[in-house]
A and B are shown apart, each in its own frame.
Chain A
Amino acid sequence: GAGVSQSPSNKVTEKGKDVELRCDPISGHTALYWYRQRLGQGLEFLIYFQGNSAPDKSGLPSDRFSAERTGESVSTLTIQRTQQEDSAVYLCASSLSAGAYEQYFGPGTRLTVT
């Protein structure tokens, strides 16, 4: 009964570099969400995947952010040309289905852009 896993746990990158963050949802969970948590703030929704449907990208802050998910498995969040304001904890959550309310979060990836 593994939970949601994310890698890496910490990432330090230089401004302008691209980064890729990975999320492994709970097995059997078809819905997957990415959120961003800035220091001392609540979580902000970024993007949502459900099965093979088109993702809901309404929370992505700029076109430097993109995400992919293959079927109902792993998802990657990519940030291109990172900026200092991208520094945050990026959290992934999965849910049993699109209609399920409960979301289960991974431990997050702490991204620091220097």
Chain B
Amino acid sequence: QQQVKQSPQSLIVQKGGISIINCAYENTAFDYFPWYQQFPGKGPALLIAIRPDVSEKKEGRFTISFNKSAKQFSLHIMDSQPGDSATYFCAASKQAGGGNKLTFGTGTQLKVEL
């Protein structure tokens, strides 16, 4: 059972454009929603995260939009740059008995073209 569904699988955006990646979750107990960026041969790096008590969080060119009633959240990358080309993963977790096990989406390969 896939608890976090991510789309699209791949995305091509022109330099300067907006990249949008969407995720939907099923478990209403989730209380933390991070996005990770992964370059080939590297481990995932935390990009930005949001808690369900806010609808939007912005850090530089990266924005998370969160819709609790729809159980959806999305990553927007403004003014996309070739250096943003990477795989992006959404994830979700809930604190339960200690620990913070992340449930990941299947990833989106983003390519930003000149």
Q: Chain A residues in contact with chain B, CB under 8 A?
A: 4, 31, 33, 35, 40-45, 48, 50, 53, 56, 59, 91, 93, 95, 98-108
Q: Could you say which of A45, A56, A100 contacts B102, with CB atoms under 8 Å apart?
A: A45
The reply to whether A42 and B104 form a contact with Cβ atoms under 8 Å apart is yes
**Chain B: minimal CB distance from A108 (Å):** 5
Contact A56 B44 (CB under 8 A): no
Contact A101 B49 (CB under 8 A): yes
CB–CB A102/B46 < 8 A:
yes
- Judging by beta carbons under 8 Å apart, are A107 and B43 in contact? yes
Contacts of A42 in B (CB 8 A): 4, 6, 89, 91, 104-107
Distance to closest chain B CB from A37 (angstroms): 9
B101 within 8 A of A: yes
Which residues of chain B are within 8 angstroms of A43 by Cβ–Cβ distance? 44, 89, 91, 102, 104
> B residues 83-114 with Cβ under 8 Å of A?
89, 91, 93, 95, 97-107
Least CB distance from B88 to A in Å reads 11
B→A interface (CB under 8 Å): 4, 6, 32, 34, 36, 41-46, 49, 89, 91, 93, 95, 97-107
Name which of A33, A59, A103 has the most chain B CB atoms within 10 A of its CB: A103
Please indicate the chain A residues that have their CB under 8 angstroms from the CB of B44 in the complex.
Answer: 43, 91, 105
* Chain B proximity of A92: nearest CB distance (Å): 8
| Given known contacts A41-B106, A43-B89, A104 and B100 CB-to-CB distance under 8 angstroms | no
A50 touching B98, Cβ below 8 Å: yes
Q: Is the CB of A31 within 8 A of B93?
A: no
Contact check, A31 vs B49: say whether CB atoms are below 8 A apart: no
Interface centre among A53, A91, A99, A101 (most CB of B within 10 A): A101
Say whether B99 contacts A107, CB under 8 Å. Answer: no
Q: A-B pairs with the 9 shortest C-beta distances?
A: A42-B104, A105-B43, A98-B98, A43-B104, A48-B99, A45-B101, A42-B106, A101-B32, A107-B43
Chain A: CB-nearest residue to B31: A101
**Contact A50–B99 (Cβ < 8 Å):** yes
